[in-house]
Structure 1
């Protein structure tokens, strides 16, 4: 199924009018988000299913000093939304001017007047408008007055509480990508463009694709068993290090370095999606490059075993 991305909310084509849309940031597009989407779309199965979301995440605008925290950037989020049946994504540019719209303006001018939505829905914590002036009750009242349908969806929960992006972030930061995958419904991926590094991996016999973490959340530093999806859709197994390379101590920021097993080719400039399967060990400093090379060989062998053991490929 194709999905259409609309980034100019003031100029929506007629064929995208009349949707049923779920509202939210959808960082991660986890099982709780999937529950919200399916509930909203089930309320009006006769309408095209859509999402209204924001880029950047409002927290990135209001708290720029915070460390990067995103689970999914725009491209990865779009792909995850397509996988759960969304046909239209209205991705609103969240800047200072937009943040100053009142809750009333957001509902009447944006949702109703510009996007021409016929039905909307959200979770219990959705807040919107200047200084978060609008809530679920306000949205229910105003959409009714404007002749739009509305669905309030209770959060999906398990024994640990509601599914949430925050909960998944903690799991990743604590080194549990397998548990994060259970709540996402898929492996967590870091997607980015391969950049030139210092070629040390090649000298050690393990050439790596170097990908900056950028605005992604930094998970627990260490070595992971991974699968890597190339732009042509091919998937390769591998091993990856996430961190600051303390043995080399180059002073650079944390990054992801992935070695693809049994692969030869030039990946520079290509956008890869690296799925984390299991944390093999924490990051640590070695006495020298020989000790580091020996450990990398052990890491690669362990990663192969983990992936051979039946871990599902993303």
Structure 2
């Protein structure tokens, strides 16, 4: 889409500091690298890496620092729900790339990414601890949430894990539920999905503790935005449940620039009513982004998707949407994971 030096890319508000060292990622079949030997690890799927997950991560970092051990996360790909119900697409808050990016920014030393397959699904609780956690990964301690279950048929509970860790010489810490902002309901990935499905970005971001973002490769579209004066960078989002509508956004480009913008997610009912697409117009920017990876974070909801009677009516409203996005972005102080 249209690179201009008219306006320099400005930093996002309240960025979350990132760790300096590169993230160490360990996958199935690889020897455990030296920086992760004897690690203390948080266990879970970590979809969204919300405020509850971050309580686990903070505990891991605390225990690892106190014992002089590396801090790590053990997570699973694909998400177990995708394995058990492949015919029912799941609205994931964070794909693997986004998950690793957030964990890096939170200062975790490394991530064990374990393939969730029939073998792992059929592993009993005792074998999960003695075989995977202790013998294979060589962990020194684990941290879990209050509702963590594991092993064949979800037979492993937090109490079972504590007992098995004691038998295998592993430290174990169970972290209680976290409620955002003093609320009574615990923070959960399900609650965040529900908020995004309703277009309530503010509530979703509050539960996450940062602006929700997506990542993808900029693809070619029909170039209609360029004709209308609003050239867009288009991303196709897999199994995304986000409400169709217009959003104030910020985008991180492949060269590290972070740009303000306005985005539409939906089917373009004024024109083709096609497959859902995220179309992002970056303010004061021109250039070719096709084939590049781009991250887009959502700062706020502007309006729902509607059908206009003419292209002229749509363009007039797009100018209003862009102005609304600028105002919202100027006021928003939600932390960002984009840097």
Q: TM-score, normalised by structure 1?
A: 0.95
Q: CA deviation at 1:15?
A: 3.6
Alignment match, 1:234: 257
Question: Quick one: distance in 1 between partners of 2:166 and 2:218?
Answer: 49
Partner of 1:21: 41
Q: Are 2:204 and 1:180 aligned?
A: yes
Q: 5+ unaligned residues in a row in structure 2: which ranges?
A: 1-19
Question: More relative contact order in 1 or in 2 (CA 8 Å, sep 6+)?
Answer: 2
Verify: 1:248 aligned to 2:268, yes or no: no
The equivalences for 1:1-314 within 5 A come to 1-2=20-21, 3-8=23-28, 11-45=31-65, 46-157=68-179, 158-215=182-239, 217-250=240-273, 252-312=274-334, 314=336
For the residue of structure 2 that corresponds to 1:264, the secondary structure is coil
Question: Structure 1: which 5+ runs fail to align?
Answer: none
1:162 is paired with a residue of what secondary structure? coil
Question: After alignment, is 63-72 or 239-248 more displaced?
Answer: 63-72
CA distance, structure 2, for counterparts of residue 160 and residue 176 of structure 1: 19
Query: Secondary structure of the equivalent of 1:161?
Result: coil
Q: Is the 8 A contact 1:68 1:214 kept in 2?
A: no
Q: Distance in 2 between matches of 1:170 and 1:186?
A: 17
Q: Quickly say closer, same or farther: Cα 1:186–1:264, change in 2 above 3 A.
A: same
Distance 1:88 1:299 in 2: 41
What SS does the aligned partner of 1:78 have?
helix
Is the alpha carbon distance of 1:236 and 1:290 closer, same or farther for their aligned partners in structure 2, counting shifts above 3 Å?
Answer: same
**C-alpha distance in 2 between matches for 1:211 and 1:299:** 20
- Assess if the C-alpha contact under 8 Å between 2:61 and 2:108 holds in 1: no
Range moving further from structure 2, 5-14 or 124-133: 5-14
Call closer, same or farther: CA 1:305–1:172 in 2, change over 3 Å.
Answer: same
Deviations 1:242-280 (A, max 9, x none): 011111134x32120000011011111111111111110
Q: Distance in 1 between matches of 2:184 and 2:102?
A: 24
1:136-167: CA deviations, max 9, x gaps? 11111111111111111111123241111111
Shift of residue 10, structure 1, vs aligned partner = 5.3
SS at match of 1:72: coil
CA RMSD after TM alignment: 1.6
Q: State the SS of the aligned residue for 1:120.
A: strand
Hey, what's the Cα distance between the residues in 2 that align with 1:150 and 1:68?
31
- The TM-score with structure 2 as length reference comes to 0.88
Q: Does the 8 A contact of 2:210 with 2:335 survive in 1?
A: no
- Matches of 2:289 and 2:136, distance apart in 1: 42
